[in-house]
């Protein structure tokens, strides 16, 4: 190659390099900006998910929420009540046992630290969410002044007899004998697993709405 061609070759290489760099930069900016804006929208509120679970249904729902929503996740037995002040939205998750919401006393005890925030409660049980018993359990489990400040979502859980403790097996048997609703009595006699991620869609939509309002 003659010496006179080197400057022309260098100019061509520089032009090609600039074109490639600009094209790469433009594609990257579009993708990253869209993703960043979406995350920014959902991170306008700080969310804490507090759950209490025994056989895993409530924990599974809590983990799915944590996966889909920027948040912190903690077992109710390990949460520091002073941490509530750091968050704008508190999500409580609990199973229902012996006709009561297990996490309800925890909510009442810590209401002074939670009051004024957006509070959401979801529960898991064998009773279908639309059954009147669910509302009775909720109304009897929390004082009216607290219920007014909570958005409540009842969800189906699971019962697998092989996993139940002896005491819980006995409780189910006694509860079935005392139950007057034949449809519920039938449900209590069978194993079931209704823990499904799609059941959380209304909960997720509500949380996202609350987060975007912050």
pLDDT by residue for the chain (214 residues), tens digit each? 444 544 444 444 444 444 343 333 332 222 222 333 344 455 578 999 999 998 889 999 999 999 999 999 999 999 888 889 999 999 999 999 888 999 999 999 999 999 999 999 999 988 888 889 999 999 999 999 999 999 999 999 887 777 777 877 777 777 767 777 777 766 666 777 788 999 999 999 999 888 887 6
The count of other CB atoms within 10 Å of the CB of residue 108 is 14
pLDDT for the residue numbered 26: 31
- DSSP E strands: which ranges in 87-208? 89-97, 100-101, 118-125, 150-156, 158-159, 192-193
- Cα distance between residue 89 and residue 118, in whole Å: 5
- Cα distance between residue 151 and residue 133, in whole Å: 18
pLDDT for the residue numbered 6: 43
Question: What is the reported pTM?
Answer: 0.76
CB burial of residue 77 (10 Å; 0-12, 13-18, 19+): exposed
- Cα distance between residue 46 and residue 214, in whole Å: 9
pLDDT for the residue numbered 101: 96
Q: What does the domain layout of the chain look like in residue ranges? A: 7-42, 45-157+194-213
pLDDT for the residue numbered 23: 36
- Cα distance between residue 195 and residue 152, in whole Å: 17
Pick one of 3.40.640.10, 3.30.540.10, 3.40.50.11540, 3.40.50.360 as the CATH number of 45-157+194-213. 3.40.50.360
DSSP, res 113: H
Residue 164, CA distances (Å) to 11, 58, 113, 122, 193 in order = 76, 15, 35, 22, 14
- Cα distance between residue 155 and residue 129, in whole Å: 6
**CA-closest candidate to residue 102, choices 148, 155, 54:** 54
């Amino acid at each position: 190659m003659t010496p006179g061609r080197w400057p022309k070759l260098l100019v061509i290489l520089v032009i090609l390099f600039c074109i490639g760099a600009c094209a790469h930069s433009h594609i990257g900016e579009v993708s990253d900006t869209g993703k960043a804006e979406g995350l920014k929208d959902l991170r306008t509120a700080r969310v804490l998910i507090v759950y209490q679970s025994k056989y895993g249904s409530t924990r599974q729902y809590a983990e799915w929420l944590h996966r889909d929503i920027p948040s912190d996740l903690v077992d109710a037995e390990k949460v520091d009540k002073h941490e509530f002040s750091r968050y704008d939205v508190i999500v409580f998750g609990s199973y229902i046992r012996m006709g009561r919401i297990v996490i309800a006393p925890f909510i009442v005890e810590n209401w002074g630290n939670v009051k004024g925030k957006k509070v959401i409660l979801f529960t898991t049980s064998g009773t279908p969410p639309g059954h009147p018993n669910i509302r009775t359990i909720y109304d009897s489990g929390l004082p009216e002044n607290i219920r007014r400040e909570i958005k409540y979502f009842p969800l189906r859980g699971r019962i697998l007899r092989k996993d139940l403790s002896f005491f819980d097996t006995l409780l189910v048997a006694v509860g079935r004998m005392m139950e007057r609703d034949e449809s519920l009595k039938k449900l209590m006699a069978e194993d079931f697993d209704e823990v499904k991620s799609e059941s959380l869609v209304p909960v997720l939509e509500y949380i996202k709405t609350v987060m975007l309002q912050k």
